Amino acid sequence: MLRRMVAMADVPRALTPVLADHLATLRQMVFVAGPRQVGKTTVCRSLLGASTYLNWDSEDHRDLILRGPDAVARAVGVEQLQETPPVVVLDELHRYGRWKGFLKGLFDTYEQQLRIVVTGSSRLDVYRRGGDSLMGRYFLYRLHPLTVGELLSAEVREDVLLAPRRLQAKKWDALWQHGGFPEPFIRADEPFSRRWRKLRVQQLVREDVRDLTRIQEIDQLEILVRILAERSGAQLNYSTLATQARTSVDTMRRWIDTLCSLYHGFLVRPWFRNVARSLRKEPKWFLRDWSGIADPGARAETFVGCHLLRAVEAWTDAGVGEFELRYLRDKDRREVDFVVVRDGEPWFLVEVKHRDRELSPLLRAFQQQIGAPHAFQVVVDMPYVAADCFAATGPVVVPARTLLAQLP
């Protein structure tokens, strides 16, 4: 156990210095959200120093929280003279039915004397469970599974593309085969990874869904989770999924939204501006853990998609601009896997291939239609090239090892 904890600590996370800077310079609460077992607690506890960690799942900690904001503030030590405001980390607080009201009271009363960090495995920015609005009282940061860029550099450089560097082959292979969640990545042991994935999904359905939603049809939801496990990178047909899970289309939409809000997967919606005969409604579904996807093409698309999502959310969270991840598809079924949008304008296109290095003609056609400055065909099984992908303006075939190394 000690060896595992040391190994976990040896993987620096890019979010750690960002949060430390926030706590040193800003009064707003820190909200850290992300998938179960992605490392939120490890990151947040590293910020504490001599301050306080409270976990809602601990009975003693829960009793303290239920006594109210004043009790928590006294326990943290706000009544004692301190060089800097103490930090309290409130883990999984969203499981408390009145969590928003509690935080509003704690922040409004002690914002000058205390710094507050809240973590959770649901989308804290949109999760609604009563209480007053927290508008203006927090900034949201999202923690993702490990990526190539994060493994290469934990520097705070979310506002620029990184200079490409080669990731060690051992780390690349571990990331591709075992995913970016810290524990299976570090262990790099296939039997452990299989057991870990199975347990994580069971906990998601049987614990998180039960505790945080009003969904009663858990068995049917498990059927949906199994179906979606084989459809990462595919367009969603809500009607077909509803038939397979034996529920209504409206219920299916709510269930998909729930799985996204609990960070099991994410949706990528079509970009239709300046695209002739474009699709406008059908989203694509992606898992946040690519390691269990058997089909190499679907795994490659999910692998790159997760890296792109992490980049657009990191840039957005850092205040660089408003970034979105979309895809392109028209009614003739011509498609490009991803387009990264910056402040409402397409920035670069990405078509993902596992091995195919023959440039897709659709890249040039769609690039000309929407006016994106860059268009990449990203090949996962291609050696690293020490060159700046963004120096090219026309469509170009690039190694995934190079492009992903340039993203935060």
The answer to whether 65 touches 94, Cβ cutoff 8 Å, is: no
One domain for residues 100 and 232: no
Amino acid at 116: I
**pLDDT of 341-386, one tens digit each?**
999 999 999 999 999 999 999 999 999 999 999 999 999 999 999 9
Would you say residue 250 lies in a domain? Answer: yes
pLDDT higher for 84 or 284? Answer: 284
Q: Domain boundary residue among 142, 177, 207?
A: 142
Q: What are the tens digits of pLDDT across the range 54-89?
A: 999 999 999 999 999 999 999 999 988 888 899 999
Verify that 197 and 293 share a domain, yes or no: yes
Residues 115 and 202 in one domain: no
39/257 Cα distance (integer angstroms)? 23
Residues 187, 289 within the same domain: yes
Q: Are residues 219 and 365 in the same domain?
A: yes
- Assigned token pair, 386: 């020490």
At residue 339, the pLDDT reads 97
Looking at the domain assignment, is residue 269 inside a domain?
Answer: yes
Using only the alpha carbons of the chain, give its radius of gyration. 22
Residues 80 and 225 in one domain: no
Position 277 confidence tier, pLDDT thresholds 50, 70, 90:
low
Closest CA to 46 of 112, 124, 143, 138: 143
Q: Per the domain annotation, does 152 fall within a domain?
A: no
Q: Assess if residue 349 is contained within a domain.
A: yes
Quote the pTM value.
0.91
Give the end of a domain, one of 85, 117, 142: 142
* Pair 240, 334 in one domain: yes
Backbone angles phi, psi at 338, to 5 degrees: -145, 150
What percentage of the chain carries pLDDT values higher than 90? 72
Residues 166 and 117 in one domain: no
Residue 69 main-chain phi, psi, to 5 deg? -60, -40
Are 336 and 207 found together in one domain?
A: yes
> Which alpha helices (DSSP H) does 46-168 contain, by range?
59-66, 69-76, 99-110, 148-152
* pLDDT of 270 over the 60 cut: yes
pLDDT, one tens digit per residue, over 298-353 is 999 999 999 999 999 999 988 889 999 999 998 778 899 999 999 999 999 999 99
190, part of any domain? yes
Query: Would you say residue 149 lies in a domain?
Result: no
**Average model confidence (pLDDT) across the chain:** 89
12-21 average pLDDT score? 89
> How high is the pLDDT of residue 81?
86
Q: Please indicate, yes or no, if residue 147 is contained in any of the structural domains.
A: no
Give the range of the structural domain holding residue 301, as residue numbers without chain letter: 159-406
Provide the domain count of the chain. Answer: 2
CB 360 within 8 A of CB 334: no
pLDDT band at 136 (very low <50, low <70, confident <90, very high): confident
Q: Is the pLDDT of residue 128 over 60?
A: no
Q: What is the pLDDT of residues 143-191, one digit of tens each?
A: 999 999 999 975 545 457 888 899 999 999 999 999 999 999 999 999 9
d(CA 85, CA 51): 9
| Pair type for strands 115-120 and 29-33 | parallel
Q: Which helix (H) or strand (E) holds 53?
A: strand 52-55
The confidence score (pLDDT) of residue 145 equals 96
253 falls within a domain: yes
Residues 178 and 122 in one domain: no
The verdict on 203 and 125 lying in the same domain is no
On whether both 282 and 220 belong to a single domain, the answer is yes
Distance from C-alpha of 343 to C-alpha of 170, rounded to nearest angstrom: 37
Of residues 215 and 156, more confidently modeled: 215
Which of 314, 266, 313, 324 has its CA nearest to residue 290?
266
The pLDDT score that the predictor gives to residue 275 is: 67
Cβ(316)–Cβ(322) below 8 Å: yes
Nearest to 249 by CA among 259, 235, 239, 262: 239
Distance CA 143, CA 145 (A): 7
Tell me how far apart the alpha carbons of residues 370 and 373 are, in angstroms, rounded to a whole number: 9
Cα–Cα distance, 71 to 180 (Å, whole number)? 38
Q: How far is CA 157 from the centre of its chain?
A: 18
